[in-house]
A and B are shown apart, each in its own frame.
Chain A
Amino acid sequence: MIRLEKRPQPSRGWSIATPLVAVLATMLFGGLLFGVLGTNPLQAIETIFWEPLFGEFAFYYRPQLLVKGAPLVLIAIGLSLGFRAGIWNIGAEGQYIIGALTGAAVGLAFYPLEAWYIFPLMVIAGALGGWLWAMIPAFLKVRFGTNEILVSLMLVYVAEQFLASMSLGLLKNPEGFGFPGSRNLQQYDSAHNADLIANTGMHWGVVAALIAVIFAYVLLNRHMLGFHIRLTGEAPRAARFAGVRPSRLILLCLGMSGALAGLAGMFEVSGPAGQVSIDFNVGYGFTAIIVAFLGRLHPVGILLAGGLMALTYIGGEIAQGQLGLPAAAIQVFQGMLLFFLLALDLLTNYRIALQKPEVA
């Protein structure tokens, strides 16, 4: 019979190997799924993982990788700080929406003025918007002990309604012939988050994501606050004993993740998306949860995981166009990845031993 034995300490090797094994297992089972759906599994996997990077149209897809990866990494870095401390912000999608709204609103308020300070102001507004939205669950948790998972999630639905209201009302393009949606910020130079180098996908959001990765790395490995974050997640009582004030940590972690999600939303709305519209959000806030776990809540891991997840998005779109693979299949594929990762994580902390049956 198979038994689990707790390892005396977590295995380094497995903690690096599990994400890779999980990706392979997902390819295998995802391929089976695609096969069941009537697509050639090998071709599907190749389309998803190879085509965007090295295929014929890679010159077009590679920049897309940055465009899709940046918001995922930015949000996931923020989430990972909280997750490390056992603070579960599940509402990044809402903070992303609000950040986009506040960022865009500041930009639109200046229209048609052209000035260098508009974009920086939008950045600040976006971060502030996301921060404020995340402060709601943070404050309620600190003050009333309310569960942050449920509150932050409820606020996603509220934010979605708010987005609809804004794109139909206050932020609607006055010259938009009555169509929902704001003015297109891509056509407003001072507010446009354009590619820093044309056609590379390298916009300010990508820069922000890289800075966030470095910042998180230094914070977690070199700074007392990062140590306290890890300590709180590993052993909350020991953290209190060490002198960590839980409420301060909750406000900080939720605040940081909200601000980063808000930034991601702001960079998206002023760049790739261009305008506030009812269906502006595409679920980055939720996919970032997968990215955070896939990256093992480690900044560098998240960077890689964000790239991988962006790849499945783009590859998925190609597969959709070329092979008729349904969009939902990619969503299932991503969900599967998270499953395998969580299941295989067992091997980091436990050893599987073959042993005689025993009364458990």
Chain B
Amino acid sequence: MSQVLLSLNGLTKAYPGVVANDDISFKIGVGEVHALLGENGAGKSTLVKMIYGLVKPDSGTMELRGQSYAPGEPRAARADGIAMVFQHFSLFDALNVAENIALGMENPPPMRDLAARIREVSETYGLPLDPFRTVGDLSAGERQRVEIIRCLLQDPKLLIMDEPTSVLTPQEVQILFKTLEKLRGEGTSILYISHKLEEIRTLCDTATILRLGKVVGTCTPRETTARDMAELMVGSALKTPERAGRALGEVALDISGLSAPSPSAFGTALKNVHLTVQQGEIVGIGGVAGNGQEELLGVLSGEILTEAGAVKLLGEPIGRMGPAARRALGLLTAPEERLGHAAAPDMSLTENALLTGAVRENLVSNGFLKWGAAREFAERIIEAFDVRTPGPENAARSLSGGNLQKFVIGREVLQGPKVLVVNQPTWGVDAAAAAAIRQALLDLAAEGTAVVCISQDLDELMEIADRFAALNEGRLSTPRSTTGLTVEEIGLMMGGAHGMEVAHV
């Protein structure tokens, strides 16, 4: 390492009941791309928030270019040349690009000058962006560009990127990497947070691996195998799901010519979607976030109604049926957002079991609730899916993300669906739970259920799906068999590089 930019010495941060960061030390060199690798809950976010001044460490110190560094707030961090591209929550949909960028700067120039500078920087780094477009109308990749340009305008010494590729197509990832290489060439250091091993091996100079709040290893990614890094990260060898050979039955789900507007202001309308899924088949639906995934789940769950014939379940048109009627027929769904959509946060697990299980599990008679039966059902889910909780009377929000997700998926799986549609089934879930969920989907398909798995995790889809299709601006590509599908082909199905044609392709 040439010259140290930032060194962390024994950083510790505890929250009630959990030590998020325990005595963390490592150094980031000038012009180095440093990977921070770890599972969900390993403490990456907390660490980064301390560097960015959002959280104060309980103990430990930081040094920036040899000087003591203890930012009281993000503003101070920015003033010291530290910039951060967030994974979530940091753009304002109703404001335009220039306004969004101005909000992230200490002393933004007047709007007209700022717009000119945005154009200039976006051209220099190959990230085309119109300063006066409303952010809510941008694609996920473009939104990320807003964040990156916001950082670059401040001429950062250290750029922190939190899971930047989770919202990009493979082609867009290539472009991002070029931008990052260019920055590295200019002497900017990058702290790159990810759990995707291959991209870390491509891009990063050094990797620090976190597990349960502690540094468990440091390595040079180019010289380390993905498998070794994975084992460091997870702490044990992983069991890959088993995929039994399956016989496909008749067409269970038939979507034809389906178009539907999005219920939310900045959502994506579905345009002429066609898809058939056979019994025993798993169809994986990829695509960058915000290209119609939520809407697709909505038209299948019955939250968004369409023409009757646009969605057929075992030949029966169900497009005009609400969620309860569809459940009765055997079409079950599990949405992406666990808290607030798939489950009611403040309600008990028993009540949440009732939420979708009422009809099929016969938990209601004449409109009156059978609490005993509902509780039993909840207990069955907890038991079968190894949900860690003291009992079904606990509120959904008291569960960890992975446990709640197991509950949500388990709730649908145990109802014996004819068709199951899941969106992001393993998002934010630890590796063990993710493996369990994938196995459950495979087992379900083996029993003859038609499964649609919408996910942004391409590895996951390649692992479990028989056929793959991608959503791109509300359109679904023609599904193709997953065997022999290359990353480039997948990327093109996902729409290549959104809005980048002029600049690169």
Which residue numbers of A lie inside 8 Å of B, CB to CB?
5, 8-10, 222-225, 227, 230-231, 234-235, 237-243, 245, 353, 356, 358-359
Main secondary structure of the interface of B (DSSP, over half): loop
A227–B347 Cα gap in the complex (Å)?
Answer: 10
**B342 and A241 form a contact (CB under 8 A):** yes
Q: Which residue of A lies closest to B365 (CB)?
A: A224
Q: Are A238 and B341 in contact (CB under 8 A)?
A: yes
Nearest-Cβ distance from residue B11 to partner chain A, whole angstroms: 14
Query: Inside 8 A of A240's CB, which chain B residues have their CB?
Result: 303, 323
Looking at the complex, which one of B322, B325, B345, B364 makes contact with A235 (CB distance below 8 Å)? Answer: B345
Q: Report which of A10, A227, A243 forms a contact with B323, defined as CB distance below 8 A.
A: A243
Our count of residue pairs bridging A and B at CB distance below 8 angstroms stands at 86
In the bound complex, residues from chain A placing their C-beta under 8 Å from that of B358 are 224, 242
Which residues on B sit within 8 Å (CB–CB) of A356? 56, 58
Known contacts A227-B369, A237-B341: A359-B54 contact under CB 8 Å: yes
Q: Is the CB of B355 within 8 A of A9?
A: no
B53 within 8 Å of A (CB atoms): yes
Q: Mark B471-482, 1 if CB is under 8 A from A, else 0.
A: 000000000000
Task: Judge if B368 is at the interface, Cβ distance under 8 Å.
Answer: yes
Q: How far is the CB of B76 from chain A (nearest CB, A)?
A: 10
In the complex, per-residue mask of B324-345: 1 if CB is within 8 Å of any chain A CB, else 0: 1101000001010100111111
**B341 near A222 (CB under 8 angstroms)?**
no
Chain B residues whose C-beta falls within 8 Å of the C-beta of A358 in the assembled complex = 55-56
A70 to B346, CA, bound (A): 32
Q: Contact partner of A241 among B56, B58, B72, B356, CB < 8 A? A: B356
* A–B pairs, 18, beta carbons within 8 Å: A5-B16, A9-B397, A222-B369, A223-B369, A224-B368, A225-B367, A230-B347, A231-B344, A231-B355, A234-B344, A235-B346, A240-B303, A241-B303, A241-B342, A242-B355, A242-B356, A356-B56, A358-B55
Residues of A within 8 A of B369 (CB): 222-224, 227
Return chain A residues, CB-CB under 8 Å to B344. 231, 234-235, 238-239
Q: Does B394 sit within 8 A of A, measured CB to CB?
A: yes
**Which residue of chain A is the closest to B327 with respect to CB atoms?**
A243
The number of chain B residues with a CB under 8 A from chain A is 40
- In addition to A231-B344, A238-B340, A243-B302, 12 A-B residue pairs with Cβ atoms within 8 Å of each other are A8-B398, A224-B369, A227-B354, A227-B369, A235-B346, A237-B340, A238-B342, A241-B301, A241-B341, A241-B355, A356-B56, A358-B56
Q: Which residue of A is nearest B398, CB measured?
A: A8
Question: Is B147 close to A, CB under 8 A?
Answer: no
Task: Give bound CA distance, A230 to B352, whole Å.
Answer: 12
Give the complex CA separation of A143 and B60 in angstroms: 59
A79 to B503, CA, bound (A): 59
Alpha-carbon gap, A353 to B327, bound state (A): 44
Q: Across the A-B interface, give the 4 residue pairs with the lowest CB-CB distance, nearest first.
A: A243-B324, A9-B395, A8-B398, A243-B323
Docked-complex contact A238 and B355, CB < 8 angstroms: yes
By a CB distance below 8 angstroms, the chain B residues around A223 are: 367-369
Contact B346 A359, beta carbon cutoff 8 Å: no
In the complex, A231 Cα to B324 Cα: how many Å?
15
The answer to the question of B199 belonging to the interface, with a C-beta cut-off of 8 Å to chain A, is no
8 Å CB interface, B21-69 against A: 53-56, 58
Docked Cα-Cα span, A223 to B367, in Å, equals: 6
Q: In the docked arrangement, what's the CA distance between A356 and B468, Å?
A: 51
Where the two chains meet, the residues of B that have a C-beta atom closer than 8 Å to any C-beta of A are: 16, 53-56, 58, 72-73, 301-303, 322-325, 327, 333, 335, 337, 340-347, 351, 354-356, 358, 364, 367-369, 394-395, 397-398
A245 to B358, CA, bound (A): 16
Contact present for B340 and A353 (CB under 8 Å)? no
Instruction: Return B73 CB to nearest CB of chain A, in Å.
Output: 6
Complex Cα distance, B326 from A243, in Å, reads: 9
Shortest Cβ distance from residue A231 to the other chain B in the assembled complex, whole angstroms: 6
Q: B residues within 8 A CB of A235?
A: 340-341, 343-347
Min distance, Cβ A242 to any Cβ of chain B, angstroms: 5
Q: CA A231 – CA B302 in complex, angstroms?
A: 18
Point out the residues of chain B lying under 8 angstroms from A222, CB to CB.
Answer: 368-369
A8 vs B345: C-alpha distance when bound (angstroms): 10
Contact A10 B395 (CB under 8 A): yes
Q: How far is the CA of A9 from the CA of B342 in the complex (A)?
A: 18
Q: Across the interface, which residues of B come within 8 angstroms of A239, CB to CB?
A: 344
Bound Cα distance from A10 to B367, whole angstroms = 27
In the complex, the answer to whether A9 meets B364 with C-beta atoms within 8 Å is no
Specify which chain B residues have a CB less than 8 angstroms from the CB of A353 in the assembled complex: 16
Chain B residue with Cβ nearest A357: B56
CA separation between A225 and B302, bound complex, in Å? 19
Say whether B395 contacts A8, CB under 8 Å.
yes
Partner of B322, one of A5, A8, A243: A243
Nearest chain A residue, comparing its CB with the CB of B358: A224
* Complex Cα spacing A241 to B300, Å: 11
Determine the residue in chain B with the shortest Cβ distance to A7.
B398
Q: How far is the CB of B425 from chain A (nearest CB, A)?
A: 16
From B53, B72, B73, B367, A224 is in contact (CB under 8 Å) with B367
Decide if B340 touches A359 in the complex (CB within 8 Å). no
Nearest neighbor of A226 in chain B, beta-carbon distance? B369
